[in-house]
């Protein structure tokens, strides 16, 4: 087993129980539904019409984003390092859907340069051992656009990340994810010939707090108020961005 594969982002998601409970934990309940619908809306906005386009979903997990894109007519390949997660994704494919799920590593994608019209990677950079290599690979295989997301270092996620790192170091079973500044991601993308075109920030308050309250109405109203006073733009998280390949690259 390589050093990377000792990392929690490999071992945790290789656990069958984690894979089985993944969607319920991430997208369960009324707030989970809201998070999922907002994610779908952002993908639709950032990618535009996808019918007939080839899209690679890196870190596809149980295939939620990949299946949405395939339902919109895209020709989708979803890759993930966890066979347990992929097994669940494959059960969700409808007959005739233009989608393939395959084992793969975000650090070394088994595809030629510019093999896909677009590449998508959600909730990967925050966990992966070598995030810069993952960005390089996403840009390498995409002809036109890359969509990715990350928790903002200017948000409450910073404190949550630090707390998880402490817990993980003490032997706790958790995901000690990293946070990013927008400028760090933009600089890394620019190194590979891409330029950020649009950014979406999802929440000011932690998703865990919204889930505890459990009211989509309260979440929507409170977040709109915080957006009006400028907090969403300043400290909203997670951040999703779309970058386009520069004409000269």
Condensed to tens digits (0 to 9), the pLDDT of residues 62-98 reads 999 999 999 999 999 999 999 999 999 999 999 989 9
Q: For the CA atoms of 13, 236, 34, 208, what is the dihedral angle to 10 degrees?
A: 60
Q: Give, in order, the Cα–Cα distances in Å from 7 to each of 122, 165, 176.
A: 18, 13, 11
Q: Which two tokens stand for residue 38?
A: 């907002």
pLDDT(203) > 50: yes
* Contacts (Cβ under 8 Å, ≥6 apart) of 120: 43, 47, 55, 56, 57, 58, 65, 69, 146, 147, 148
CA–CA gap between residue 140 and residue 111 (Å, rounded) = 9
Domain ranges of the chain: 4-201+239-245
Tell me the per-residue pLDDT of 99-142, one tens digit each, with 9 for 90 and over.
999 999 999 999 999 999 999 999 999 999 999 999 999 999 99
Give pLDDT, residue 2. Answer: 52
pLDDT digits 0-9 by tens, 155-193: 999 999 999 888 888 887 778 899 999 999 999 999 999
| pLDDT class of 3 with cuts at 50, 70, 90 | low
The dihedral formed by the CA atoms of 63, 69, 70 and 74, expressed in degrees to the nearest 10: -140
Strands 54-58 and 75-80: parallel
Q: How many CB atoms lie within 10 A of CB 228?
A: 9
Average pLDDT of the segment spanning 234-240 = 97
Pick from 42, 109, 34: which is nearest to 69 by CA?
42
Nearest to 143 by CA among 239, 53, 66: 53
Query: Which structure tokens are listed for 205?
Result: 């308050």
Report the alpha-carbon distance of residue 146 to residue 138 in Å, rounded: 7
Q: Is the pLDDT of residue 198 over 90?
A: yes
- What's phi and psi for 193, nearest 5 deg? 85, 20
Q: What percent of the chain has pLDDT over 90?
A: 85
pTM equals 0.94
Q: Which two tokens stand for residue 118?
A: 């677009």
Question: Is the pLDDT assigned to residue 41 strictly greater than 60?
Answer: yes
How confident is residue 232, by pLDDT bands cut at 50, 70 and 90? very high
Task: Confirm if 46 and 114 have CB atoms less than 8 A apart.
Answer: no
Q: What CATH superfamily classification does 4-201+239-245 receive?
A: Vaccinia Virus protein VP39 (3.40.50.150)
Q: How confident is the model at residue 1 (pLDDT cuts 50, 70, 90)?
A: very low
Other C-beta atoms lying within 10 Å of the C-beta of residue 133: 15
Determine contact, residues 187/222, Cβ cutoff 8 Å: no
């Amino acid at each position: 087993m390589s050093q990377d594969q000792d990392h929690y982002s490999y071992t945790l998601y290789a656990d069958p129980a984690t894979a089985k409970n993944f969607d319920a934990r991430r997208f369960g309940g009324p707030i989970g539904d809201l998070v999922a619908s907002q994610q779908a809306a952002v993908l639709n906005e950032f990618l535009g019409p996808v019918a007939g386009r080839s899209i690679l979903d890196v870190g596809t997990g149980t295939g939620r984003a990949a299946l949405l894109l395939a339902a919109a007519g895209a020709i989708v390949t979803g890759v993930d390092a966890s066979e347990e997660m992929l097994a669940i994704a494959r059960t969700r494919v409808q007959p005739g859907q233009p989608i393939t799920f395959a084992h793969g590593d975000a650090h070394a994608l088994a595809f030629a340069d510019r093999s896909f019209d677009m590449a998508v990677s959600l909730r990967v950079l925050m966990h992966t051992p070598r995030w810069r290599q993952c960005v390089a690979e996403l840009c390498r295989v995409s002809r036109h656009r890359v969509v990715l997301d990350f928790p903002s270092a200017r948000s409450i996620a910073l404190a949550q990340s630090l707390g998880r790192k402490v817990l993980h170091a003490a032997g706790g079973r958790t995901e000690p994810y990293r946070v990013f500044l927008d400028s760090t991601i933009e600089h890394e993308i620019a190194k590979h010939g891409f330029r950020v075109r649009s950014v979406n920030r999802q929440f000011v308050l932690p998703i865990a707090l919204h889930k505890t309250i459990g009211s989509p109405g309260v979440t929507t109203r409170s977040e709109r108020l915080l957006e009006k006073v400028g907090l969403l733009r300043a400290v909203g998280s997670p951040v999703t961005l779309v970058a386009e390949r520069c004409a000269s690259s």
